[in-house]
């Protein structure tokens, strides 16, 4: 699968592209090769990960939390062979479509994510709102599905956008254990909190790609959430696929 024609940002995301955005104040804010955002930080090239400071306001974040909190359910993870639900024990989640949010905040955020990624919002799954309390974590995993492990898929996850809805006093970092092209060792238990770590900050966004431009899975996109050791963590995840989504697909 060649994804360049559908997801141009994935294929033009290179050092020169980012330098053009970050170094030239004379460039237009919106054009085929530029985002409608100036504040972008490159966190990593392996995986391709970008950070968007102040992507949402504190009021927007609190509104999303209020919408999700009454109907939280135990979170689950698509399990590899030999895994159990211990992977996400205690974590609570709520799936929300933008159309379900009467405040309209999720619709605003969804539109902004579409502009940031240059991917139509019709390719996004419902928002996955997650709450982590003390001691809770998410073991390392891939957002993309390897058919050899999970079977045939109707569509594939191309990218993930995480919006941090709260600060965390201590812990709760998003981590990429094998950044910079490190090979996954056979004895890695998917639990250790190592590698590139991104500290949650309310209102900031994290975008990373699960696929290479040729459509194969990027092994360095393996990621997880370190345990929260003080405070509480809230995050809204938008998974973006290679095909348009409907409610029936999720």
pLDDT 10s digits, 161-192: 999 999 999 999 999 999 887 666 677 788 88
What are 178's two structure tokens? 């094998």
E strand or H helix that includes residue 9 = helix 8-12
Strand ranges (E), the chain: 41-45, 48-52, 73-74, 92-96, 127-132, 138-141, 157-164, 170-171, 174-176, 196-198, 205-209, 223-225, 228-230, 233-241
> Residue 248: pLDDT above 90?
no
What mean pLDDT do residues 1-8 have?
A: 53
Query: What pTM, to 2 d.p., does this model score?
Result: 0.84
Domains of the chain: 8-23+39-195+210-249 (2.60.120.620)
């Amino acid at each position: 699968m060649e994804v360049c024609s559908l997801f141009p940002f994935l294929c033009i995301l290179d050092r020169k592209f980012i330098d053009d955005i970050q170094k030239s104040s004379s460039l237009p804010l919106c054009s085929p090769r530029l985002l409608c955002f100036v504040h972008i930080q490159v966190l990593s090239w392996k995986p391709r990960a970008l950070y968007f400071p102040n992507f949402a306001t504190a009021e927007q974040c609190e509104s999303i939390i209020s919408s999700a909190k009454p109907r939280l359910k135990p979170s689950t993870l698509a399990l590899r062979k030999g895994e159990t639900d211990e992977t996400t024990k205690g974590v609570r989640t709520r799936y929300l479509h933008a159309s379900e949010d009467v405040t309209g905040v999720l619709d605003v955020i969804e539109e902004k994510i579409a502009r940031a990624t240059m991917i139509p919002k019709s390719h996004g799954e419902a928002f996955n709102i997650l709450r982590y309390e003390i001691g809770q974590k998410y073991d390392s995993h891939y957002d993309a599905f390897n058919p050899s492990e999970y079977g045939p898929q109707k569509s594939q996850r191309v990218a993930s956008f995480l919006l941090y809805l709260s600060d965390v006093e201590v812990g709760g970092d998003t981590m990429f254990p094998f950044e910079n092209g490190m090979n996954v060792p056979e004895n890695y238990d998917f639990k250790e909190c190592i590698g590139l770590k991104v500290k949650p900050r309310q209102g900031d966004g994290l975008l990373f790609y699960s696929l290479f431009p040729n459509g194969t899975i990027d092994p360095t996109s393996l990621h997880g959430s370190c345990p929260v050791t003080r405070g509480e963590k809230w995050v809204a995840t938008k998974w973006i696929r290679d095909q348009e989504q409907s409610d029936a697909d999720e």
